[in-house]
Amino acid sequence: MKVFELIGSMVRTDENLIQSVDEFNKAVNHIVQLIQDACTLYMNGSYPTSAFLSISACEEIAKAHIGSFTDGKHPEKNERNIFRDHRTKHQMAALPTVTMGQRLNEALGFQELQRIMNLAHNSGFVQTRENALYFQRENGSLVIPTEKVDKKLARSLVLFAIEAFDDALVGFTNHTYEMDDITDALFEQIKNT
């Protein structure tokens, strides 16, 4: 998998993105806030904005997951930082281990889970981010985010973000277990909608 090769080739420096347990926990708090906000928006019917925040949470999950080990500078491409590359962060959030547990598969179903994984790996999250925020002209008509991002997609993305958080970050520090209790409760709440 290209993502693993990229991560493995990254240079470790004294300028790593996250440099202490306190900073890691601070990043985790930020991610959980994004997830909570995405859930609140979802429950209030603001599906496009919920989807945007869910994808943003996935990006931040990817950064926190490897940010203690690298500064994010690409090993071959000068001046490119993977922490600023949406597509790469989406791929890093959608590691194969996210689908190994039963919880997400049971909540979404196999086909929907595969669709979300494919979106993450094939620039679909990039397009969904854009569709979730901006109106645009398509085929002679103005199209707004609510016409592009529906309840089903928003639900799938918020549940995916919660599972990605659980998969990538829970267990690194004791604080992550406390945050996991919050996100587990949100997962159950959203799953049943």
Vertex 184 angle, CA 3 and 191, to 5°: 90
Estimate the crossing angle of helix 86-93 against helix 124-133, to 10 degrees: 110
Q: For residue 138, list its beta bridge partners.
A: 141
Question: What pLDDT, on the 0 to 100 scale, is given for residue 1?
Answer: 47
pLDDT value of position 171 = 94
Per-residue confidence (pLDDT) for residue 12, from 0 to 100: 58
Query: What per-residue confidence (pLDDT) applies to 76?
Result: 63
Q: How far is CA 78 from CA 15, 73, 74, 75, 81, in A?
A: 16, 8, 7, 8, 8
Determine the structural domain holding residue 107 and report its residue range.
2-191
How many domains does the chain contain in total? 1
d(CA 104, CA 86): 23
One digit per residue, the tens of pLDDT, for the chain of length 193 reads 465 455 555 555 667 888 889 999 999 999 999 999 999 999 999 999 999 999 999 999 999 998 887 766 665 666 677 777 888 888 989 999 999 989 999 999 999 999 999 999 999 999 999 999 999 999 999 999 999 999 999 999 999 999 999 999 999 999 999 999 999 999 999 999 9
